[in-house]
Amino acid sequence: MELAKQVALVTGGARGIGKAICKELAAAGARLAVVDIMKDVAEQTATEFLQQGVDAKAFAANVADGADVERMVDEVLAAMGQVDILVNNAGITRDNLIVRMKDSDWDAVIAVNLKGTFNCTKAVARPMMKARRGKIVNIASIVGVMGNAGQANYSASKAGVIGLTKSAAKELASRNILVNAVAPGYIQTEMTEKLSDQARQNFLSVIPLARPGTPEDVARVVRFLAGPASDYVTGQVIHIDGGMVM
């Protein structure tokens, strides 16, 4: 139980990869702050964990809104006493070709995926600096490394998350706050259910391990980066993609 008594704040924790991360961190002993814009689903998820004996609470917030994030982090600190681990997982897609992409689709994806990661990092940095310890894990994407037709906004936001990860790692290292990212490839979730059969086949044909990833594949690496086994690792981006990008 390497995370015993630690509080993990997971954004977008209500479902999908975020929920799997919550489950894995709880299995390592962490207490959970399940943060999501979908209040009801977050509460349902927190209740599920509570029923399994995990100390979990739901907090509603829009990560794109800095003031809302400040309020939420204050609420988490008041209710749970500390934040030891932040997982910036909340993310959205609004896919389209560049020539057809609406400004609002560009702005929404950058606001949630990139500014949301900045907002949450900023809000937890102060209490973590005071505690002189902390682990931040950002969920980027392999398309932030390799690009993807039809996802200019999304891949730009995830490339931005990788730059933010490295800057935050350098800025916060002296306070013993470690910042890393994971870059998942094709992971089976509600987000990727929207893919066409053709797009799915295209992905599978370039994955050496020849299968899509699972949310648990991602969650296990996040557990490593959140725990003491990675205490000399910061500013890194770990690909979780079945070998798609080497």
The structure tokens listed for 77 are: 């600190």
| Cβ 215 vs Cβ 16: under 8 Å | yes
Among 109, 199, 187, 193, which Cα is nearest to 155's? 109
For the CA atoms of 32, 111, 165, 34, what is the dihedral angle to 10 degrees?
Answer: 0
Asked if 114 touches ligand NAI (CB under 6 A), the answer is no
Closest distance to ligand NAI from the beta carbon of 68 (Å): 9
The structure tokens listed for 225 are: 């980066």
Asked if 191 touches ligand NAI (CB under 6 A), the answer is yes
Closest distance to ligand NAI from the beta carbon of 102 (Å): 18
Asked if 91 touches ligand NAI (CB under 6 A), the answer is yes
Closest distance to ligand NAI from the beta carbon of 81 (Å): 22
Query: How far is it, in rounded angstroms, from Cα 120 to Cα 16?
Result: 20
- Of 49, 59, 154, 186, the catalytic one is 154
Query: Closest CB to ligand NAI among 104 and 174?
Result: 104
3-state secondary structure of 140: coil
Query: How far is it, in rounded angstroms, from Cα 75 to Cα 78?
Result: 5
Contact residues for 74 (Cβ-Cβ < 8 A; gap 6+): none
Contact residues for 177 (Cβ-Cβ < 8 A; gap 6+): 125, 128, 129, 133, 134, 135, 136
Asked if 139 touches ligand NAI (CB under 6 A), the answer is yes
Instruction: Give the β-pairing of 56-60 and 237-240.
Output: unpaired
Asked if 76 touches ligand NAI (CB under 6 A), the answer is no
- The window from 70-78, 122-130, 185-193, 228-236 that contacts ligand NAI (CB under 6 A) reads 185-193
- Per CB under 6 A, the list member of 36, 84, 95, 105 interacting with ligand NAI is 36
Asked if 160 touches ligand NAI (CB under 6 A), the answer is no
Query: Closest CB to ligand NAI among 174 and 198?
Result: 198
What is the DSSP code string of 105-130? HHHHHIIIIIIHHHHHHHHHHHHHHH
What does each C-alpha distance from 156 to 13, 25, 42, 163, 195 come to in angstroms? 23, 29, 28, 11, 20
In the region spanning residues 7 to 26, those forming contacts with ligand NAI, defined by CB under 6 A, are 11-12, 14-18
In the region spanning residues 46 to 75, those forming contacts with ligand NAI, defined by CB under 6 A, are 61-64
Asked if 153 touches ligand NAI (CB under 6 A), the answer is no
- Per CB under 6 A, the list member of 82, 89, 119, 165 interacting with ligand NAI is 89
Asked if 184 touches ligand NAI (CB under 6 A), the answer is yes
Asked if 242 touches ligand NAI (CB under 6 A), the answer is no
Does 186 qualify as catalytic in the annotation? no
- Per CB under 6 A, the list member of 7, 25, 37, 156 interacting with ligand NAI is 37
Active-site residue list: 154
